[in-house]
Structure 1
């Protein structure tokens, strides 16, 4: 398939101007080839004016558990001082509540769902040939670019081609004499994995505040206190990096960004499309000699929404470069664009567990659309469940010891959610039906719909389909997204009276439309019984294996298991694509006891499958069917 060309600047973007130009006339795409970028040290470096040094200090998996953001328990003197010397951004959100798709956006300036399956965690985005990691533009302008050390870009990006140096020894100090630098340092001291071990925290557990959705248990208090300790450890690491700049006499010529790759990491944060999973800190300090590039003076606070996707174009602007046409972000420093009104985020598959959410946040409200509402929020994720807090919370629910607010995480989702963060920072009061917020609801719905269409969101294409990817999904007629959105919007209402519309979708000539028609039947459970004959024909004859998986699950939910369950188990055992096998075992997990006759084949997959995520999902499914773990669905 021919490679598409980058998009032209669009009227009505957040910036409101033709800011999406290529780096220069030499950056135009030649046919299906890549961008014409001079290597570091080439002609571009000889003629370009010297820009400021730029450093990214990145922490992992944390909300703003920082004193400067008003956290009364935080012990973060370095970050508090950095905020007093720089600009603190109050409402900053990652594009996904997990690292890999978030880092795709941070590297490219493009949303991961534009290049399916990049919206999923641990995937390989199908990117157009012209898409580059944005440090390529800096290198062409003479910057020395280093990354220390995490990559995890969720796409086909070779670190050796993106960076001058990438690894644990990569450092700006090794740059050529006189070269400006862009340096990234990643700090793992706040990563989710630090929560897997027991220990006695230094922060008093009784001093922390638990959100309303958590039961008040010693485990959850201990873990939250321990995380504050890890934030203090990270703060000291940031101090060491800042000290290196001071010692080298470079602080006055350097712009320092501190931010987190996504929110988290305690239960119902990382992986979930609430502020707890998406709200991140961002502090930017402008050295004395580059202070004119700051949006405001030291100690100032910016309160309009900022998205992580704004970081790449901001760096380019600070370096004095134009922003490529395909980048989605709005520069928030240097030569700025019009402040954005909305920040958009999404969730896809997390490791071995599928879900699909899309969300938009303005300065006060968050709107969430759940495209798989029949699945509970708290689906088991093997890696996350290594936290004792998840296991304890689930056990308390299984024993009936939680109140309604604490129980909600273990139940199915509504189609839509709306929260007023000014009054409800824990996001536990869904106001979607509040008549007083009718205007807000409509405005945010429209904003999200426009975003889905503008980004040609690939998330509605089942993973593993040949239609995924920037180029494939944009081929004429391949992916009629407006029709798909209409069917998906009908499906998530879970209304039996809509079944005829879903059946009509199942007869469509496009497989993604048929897929969402069949998924709508899945969401209706036994209410899809009148469509059983249509579903049976799909299972027997549809050319798309993804449509057949959805049809098989729908049939099993109506009680027709004779053909559907063995077919799912056979697909798990024998299909050549690991994501298809994962979807088959996910369907078996979702139908629960009806899958019990196929327990031997599920147990075999848990041991023998060549893909780790399939093994994980099969092992959990087998444990539930054997009664060894709660059947939460």
Structure 2
């Protein structure tokens, strides 16, 4: 390989935000040795709570041993801090936000006909591909159509003779839901260190201890699969990946575009026979950022399959290896029943975060994580006014931009976005993020369920003027009163998405948008998009138009569209109680999905009966 190994180890030190990503060492598409097997061992909802990453409390001997004899990637990032969008990226090799609604948590996106999943590429190249067993692809993909086997019994040993395999084994041991109970083990609640963002409570300590004990159980499962591979006599012919599918599941992590939610573990072992497929010798550590968007190109590089031009990632090992990219990008949109819009980028030392809905707090109430004792303790103490300033940020409006030095401030307590010495860095990160969003045609600005969603619909010339939308959305989210006139003008735009963000900007300003009252009323009279009408109603609720807001919310709740109803419930959560049509909301109380969860929170809050420990999950909870 012609890549400078010191570059890999230092993570593009000195390369800046515009570092290149050219490939080197292309090699032949055929190999006289044949093709290596590929084994993916995938855990859920965990950051690097692993001994090899320096965590002294972790007991993960099998992953640690794999790291000592393999490649340890220090800065590995999911493209979304939650499983479904993350796994869409891992399956397709494209960003979920390029193919709306795949960027939302639990959605049925449709792939364009030309886009193939990685098992389809590998099967066409002669690989036997198995998945055991989780899918969660956030798309209308039939697992039986893309895999040779996808089930609880799927296994590489079922392949035809002399056939290379690509096998995935998913371990749900560390999934968020496993913290609904208590997992006893070698780590006790008194042993753990509580981060300053969380209260030092029994529930928090018990969840952290259980998390470590679950990590130990998962590590044993990894060890079993490695031992099985050796017993089958396949270890010398198989490249093995261990990685986690998104960051951890404690408060401030999963679902959030912070280091705790985005950073994952990745250890890769390349046997001696295929040593030239690795960028460094086994036992090395790599500090350059690696993103999940690079995983499919890496698989194709290992298998000798030409990378399709529509895939934006670059391979980090295999027959072709790319120069390390200096930046890893991430996103958040709807998480379960709560809408949000965050974009982030990191070079491994700094993390830049852009909040397009800064008026919504990080700690929007989400039913599923509220099953954790740690979340319940955080919400209970918030209700009692017992959180300190660092902890209370979870429930407060956010700034449009955030910047954290992850080396000096690993808990991301000190926002440097407005620090005089960081202005150039903020500008460079912001420009890099803008370029990325334009390059991938980010669908995140489109309201869920609107006609423009999707890889192809959003690329029809003129249909989705993303540069103009991004400019207006930045003005909307920045909250500057000087932009009110531009937002009022945007209410009359011909494009639905522009009108949506103009209205959102007026929601963000709340009563400070009083000068837009007449414009909002006029806009509602002519507006035909149900998504825009909801945002207009929320804006009107803040400037004294209670009757109009109530009538519009009722209309949305009766629309028959679940995304529209859910967007209405989200808006109603944050308006004055006088603007809440509680009689119309009650129809969703028995709904087992996201509509029911949002409804139950609203009804209990309105009755003064919200108890963080009382499940919001409903009939299937």
Bin for the TM-score computed over the shorter chain: over 0.9
Q: What does the per-residue CA deviation read over 1:520-544, in whole Å, with 9 as the maximum and x for residues that have no partner?
A: 0100111111111111122222121
Distance in 2 (CA, whole Å) between partners of 1:70 and 1:49 is 37
Unaligned ranges ≥5, structure 2: 1-17, 613-621
Query: What are the within-5 Å matches in structure 2 for residues 508-527 of structure 1?
Result: 508-527=493-512
Distance in 2 (CA, whole Å) between partners of 1:144 and 1:13 is 37
Distance in 2 (CA, whole Å) between partners of 1:531 and 1:255 is 60
- With over 3 angstroms needed to count, the CA separation of the structure-2 counterparts of 1:338 and 1:18, relative to structure 1, is closer
Query: What are the within-5 Å matches in structure 2 for residues 548-567 of structure 1?
Result: 548-567=533-552
State the shift of 1:124 in Å.
Answer: 1.4
Q: Which residue of 2 aligns with 1:36?
A: none
1:242 aligns with 2:226: yes
State the shift of 1:13 in Å.
Answer: 9.6
- With over 3 angstroms needed to count, the CA separation of the structure-2 counterparts of 1:552 and 1:106, relative to structure 1, is same
State the shift of 1:452 in Å.
Answer: 0.7
Q: Which residue of 2 aligns with 1:612?
A: 593
Q: Which residue of 1 aligns with 2:615?
A: none
Q: Which residue of 1 aligns with 2:341?
A: 356
1:576 aligns with 2:560: yes
RMSD: 1.9
Q: What does the per-residue CA deviation read over 1:517-572, in whole Å, with 9 as the maximum and x for residues that have no partner?
A: 00001001111111111111222221211111110110011121112113202321
Asked whether the 8 Å contact 1:202–1:226 carries over to 2, the reply is: no
State the shift of 1:17 in Å.
Answer: 5.5
SS in 1 for 2:89: helix
Distance in 2 (CA, whole Å) between partners of 1:68 and 1:198 is 25
Q: Which residue of 2 aligns with 1:15?
A: 21
1:599 aligns with 2:605: no
State the shift of 1:292 in Å.
Answer: 2.1
- With over 3 angstroms needed to count, the CA separation of the structure-2 counterparts of 1:516 and 1:630, relative to structure 1, is farther
Distance in 2 (CA, whole Å) between partners of 1:593 and 1:364 is 44
Query: What are the within-5 Å matches in structure 2 for residues 320-335 of structure 1?
Result: 320-334=304-318, 335=320
- With over 3 angstroms needed to count, the CA separation of the structure-2 counterparts of 1:378 and 1:324, relative to structure 1, is same
1:373 aligns with 2:358: yes
Q: Which residue of 1 aligns with 2:4?
A: none
- With over 3 angstroms needed to count, the CA separation of the structure-2 counterparts of 1:257 and 1:144, relative to structure 1, is same
Asked whether the 8 Å contact 1:592–1:625 carries over to 2, the reply is: no
Distance in 2 (CA, whole Å) between partners of 1:131 and 1:503 is 40
Query: What are the within-5 Å matches in structure 2 for residues 270-289 of structure 1?
Result: 270-289=254-273
State the shift of 1:204 in Å.
Answer: 2.1
State the shift of 1:200 in Å.
Answer: 4.4
Q: Which residue of 1 aligns with 2:11?
A: none
Asked whether the 8 Å contact 1:78–1:238 carries over to 2, the reply is: yes
State the shift of 1:194 in Å.
Answer: 0.5
State the shift of 1:206 in Å.
Answer: 2.1
Asked whether the 8 Å contact 2:549–2:579 carries over to 1, the reply is: no
Asked whether the 8 Å contact 1:549–1:583 carries over to 2, the reply is: yes
Match of 1:397 among 362, 376, 382: 382
SS in 2 for 1:563: helix
- With over 3 angstroms needed to count, the CA separation of the structure-2 counterparts of 1:561 and 1:18, relative to structure 1, is farther
Match of 1:187 among 165, 171, 183: 171
Q: Number of aligned pairs? A: 593
Q: What does the per-residue CA deviation read over 1:26-70, in whole Å, with 9 as the maximum and x for residues that have no partner?
A: xxxxxxxxxxxxxxxxxx9xx997310000000000000000000
Distance in 2 (CA, whole Å) between partners of 1:484 and 1:418 is 23
Q: What does the per-residue CA deviation read over 1:194-239, in whole Å, with 9 as the maximum and x for residues that have no partner?
A: 1011454530222212111011112111110110000000000001
Q: What does the per-residue CA deviation read over 1:128-182, in whole Å, with 9 as the maximum and x for residues that have no partner?
A: 1111111111111110000000001001211112111001110000000000000
SS in 1 for 2:38: strand
SS in 1 for 2:402: strand
Q: Which residue of 2 aligns with 1:626?
A: 607
Asked whether the 8 Å contact 1:589–1:595 carries over to 2, the reply is: no
Unaligned ranges ≥5, structure 1: 1-11, 25-43
Worse-superposed segment, 439-448 or 179-188: 439-448
Asked whether the 8 Å contact 2:188–2:209 carries over to 1, the reply is: yes
Q: Which residue of 2 aligns with 1:444?
A: 429
1:128 aligns with 2:134: no
Q: Which residue of 1 aligns with 2:470?
A: 485
- Using structure 2 for the length normalisation, give the TM-score: 0.93
Asked whether the 8 Å contact 1:602–1:619 carries over to 2, the reply is: no
Match of 2:63 among 65, 79, 98: 79
- With over 3 angstroms needed to count, the CA separation of the structure-2 counterparts of 1:391 and 1:72, relative to structure 1, is same
Asked whether the 8 Å contact 2:24–2:321 carries over to 1, the reply is: no
Q: What does the per-residue CA deviation read over 1:228-256, in whole Å, with 9 as the maximum and x for residues that have no partner?
A: 00000000000110011100111011100
State the shift of 1:337 in Å.
Answer: 0.9
Q: Which residue of 2 aligns with 1:471?
A: 456
Distance in 2 (CA, whole Å) between partners of 1:328 and 1:147 is 24
Distance in 2 (CA, whole Å) between partners of 1:418 and 1:281 is 23
Q: Which residue of 1 aligns with 2:123?
A: 139
Match of 1:455 among 440, 450, 456: 440
1:590 aligns with 2:574: yes
Distance in 2 (CA, whole Å) between partners of 1:198 and 1:69 is 25
Query: What are the within-5 Å matches in structure 2 for residues 294-313 of structure 1?
Result: 294-313=278-297
- Using structure 1 for the length normalisation, give the TM-score: 0.91
Distance in 2 (CA, whole Å) between partners of 1:612 and 1:480 is 33
Q: What does the per-residue CA deviation read over 1:568-609, in whole Å, with 9 as the maximum and x for residues that have no partner?
A: 02321x11211011111111111142334x2122122223x5
Distance in 1 (CA, whole Å) between partners of 2:19 and 2:404 is 26
Match of 2:403 among 408, 418, 438: 418
Asked whether the 8 Å contact 2:36–2:302 carries over to 1, the reply is: yes
